[in-house]
Amino acid sequence: MSGNYVLNLQEKLKKWPWGDRLLVAIIAARAPYFRTLKARLLHLEPHHCECLVPKRKAVQNHIGTVHVIAVCNGLELAMGVMAEASIPKHLRWIPKGMSVDYTAKAGSDIRCVAKVAPEDWQPGDMNVPVVAYDKDNTEVVTGTIRLWLSEKPAKTA
């Protein structure tokens, strides 16, 4: 086991049918808004996470594509899981902002990706590149989620 609770949980749940969905359900218990996505975790390793937001009526807009806010929610899920699985033990994070560009219609299931380099984990602002792809690997949303990283306070006796 890695010593990281998210990666350890993922390893345990891999043995179960629907383990990827169960992991997202556990995450959504801590951040309930993610339940609206019915997302699936596709890939998780330190500094890289991918999840799938299925195209379904509840996340569609008036023209029948996946609403960009649902896509942004999927990108935030991918970033948050990646951050929890990657951040050094002496640091903590909080999101500060998100900037996105809508580059194509999101007409299918959407794969959301967040990826950083190990050396990016330094106190201060950290920009996490995020990209959402449709089933044909066309970029439908690109952007950056800005995090604030700070040292964890010293524990008192």
- Give the β-pairing of 48-53 and 91-102: unpaired
Tokens matching residue 21: 């969905």
pLDDT given at position 36 = 86
- CB within 8 Å of 5: residues ≥ 6 apart: 84
CB 81 within 8 A of CB 41: yes
Q: How far is CA 32 from CA 23, 38, 56, in A?
A: 13, 11, 19
Percent of the chain with pLDDT over 70: 98
pLDDT band of residue 1 (cuts 50, 70, 90) is: low
Task: Give the right CATH number for 5-151 from 3.40.640.10, 3.10.129.10, 3.40.50.11810, 3.40.50.1170.
Answer: 3.10.129.10
Please give the average per-residue pLDDT across 8-30, as a whole number.
Answer: 86
CA distance 46 to 146: 18
* Confidence (pTM): 0.92
pLDDT given at position 47 = 97
Burial class (CB in 10 A: 0-12, 13-18, 19+), 1: exposed
pLDDT given at position 24 = 87
* Axis-axis angle for helices 19-30, 5-13 (nearest 10): 140
pLDDT in tens, 90-133: 999 999 999 999 999 999 999 999 999 999 999 999 999 999 99
